[in-house]
Structure 1
Amino acid sequence: MSGHGVRRPRGLFRTLIDPSPARLLVLAVSFALALYAGSRLLSEGALEIALWFGGAAVVHDLVLLPAYTLANRGLQALGGRRSADQPAASWTNFVRVPAFLSGLLLLVWFPLILRQVDRYETTTGLAGDVYLERWLLVTAALAAASALWFAATRWYRRARR
């Protein structure tokens, strides 16, 4: 078919990488920055970093993925079936989002949250014993903001009816 309204599929390379000069420049600068950061990062402790990435992949695939999949299925089971008049975004999203953000913060900062701060304190000169309290406060603030947002959306929907 060679009609004017028919769009021909593009090749895989053209789909993945648009060869415009601006995009190529941004891509080249990104690669240069990544190479610079990698060379600085791997100048000390390359083996530790490689072990960290390998361990993180294994822990994610064998521990975290099954854990948050089960948690999500349990949350969906608690939510029950949706009725036709219930909106698409149910209350479960108001639990998922703060839990995800809190878990992400825990994943990124867990050595400091769990107070394994000897190397951190000697390297930066900063105290590392405040991270657990701050993470708990951020988690509580995320949960409170989500609960307020949920209450506001419920109130708004009822007010519109």
Structure 2
Amino acid sequence: MAAFLRSWRRFYGENPLHLLSVLGCIALSGYVVSLVYTDPSAIWLAVWFLGAVIAHDLVLYPLYALADQPLTISRWARRRYGPERPPRVPAINHIRVPALGSAVLFLIYLPTITGRGEDALRFTSGLSTAGIWDHWLLITAILFLGSAVIYAVRLGVAARRTARDGADV
């Protein structure tokens, strides 16, 4: 069995369960497409999905990979300091996660923020778009504040652990 798994990994590059899960995702996607196929707007759904994939892979991914470079460069620069540096708790994900959450919410609320979706919002919920921009800014501030609090707690725990380990030596 171990020899089979080694040869499988050499041939496929991953565990057989990976292939099984990918095939399951494809089957689930096929089922969803079969449900939507009878809808007359299914062609526009496919066009939208294809456009979203192209926009993400060719436009958005290079942009946020480029925006992530200062974070990774600063992390690389911090590793070059001597042993007297403060406890190491990487801050990179404490910046990435709220930024990603804020960006996703901005894309979701973009029609209402720009005022183009006011008719649809008023029809579906009875609300107006007044204050949507302020709410998005507030949610963004809360995401970054929560991430900063979690980072501060992690720094405190790391400093306490470093002090304790230094006292034991």
TM-score range, shorter chain: 0.5 to 0.7
Work out the CA distance in 2 between the residues paired with 1:48 and 1:128: 28
Alignment-derived partner of residue 149 in structure 1: 150
Among candidates 7, 20, 37, match of residue 17 of structure 1: 20
Alignment-derived partner of residue 82 in structure 1: 79
CA RMSD of aligned residues (A): 3.4
TM-score (norm 2): 0.65
Work out the CA distance in 2 between the residues paired with 1:91 and 1:28: 39
Quote how far apart the aligned CAs of 1:56 are: 1.7
Alignment gaps of 5+ in structure 2: 164-169
Alignment gaps of 5+ in structure 1: 19-23
Alignment-derived partner of residue 99 in structure 2: 99
Q: Percent identity?
A: 29
Alignment-derived partner of residue 56 in structure 1: 52
The secondary structure found in structure 1 opposite 2:127 is coil
Among candidates 69, 73, 77, match of residue 73 of structure 1: 69
Amino acid at match of 2:70: G
**Larger helix proportion of the pair:** 2
Kept in 2, the 8 Å contact 1:98–1:143? The answer is yes
Kept in 1, the 8 Å contact 2:112–2:118? The answer is no
Alignment-derived partner of residue 46 in structure 1: 42
Count of residues paired in the alignment: 146
TM-score (norm 1): 0.68
Q: Which has the higher contact order (CA 8 A, sep 6+)?
A: 2
Work out the CA distance in 2 between the residues paired with 1:44 and 1:35: 13
Deviations 1:108-155 (A, max 9, x none): 332233332145236414325143222222111110001111111112
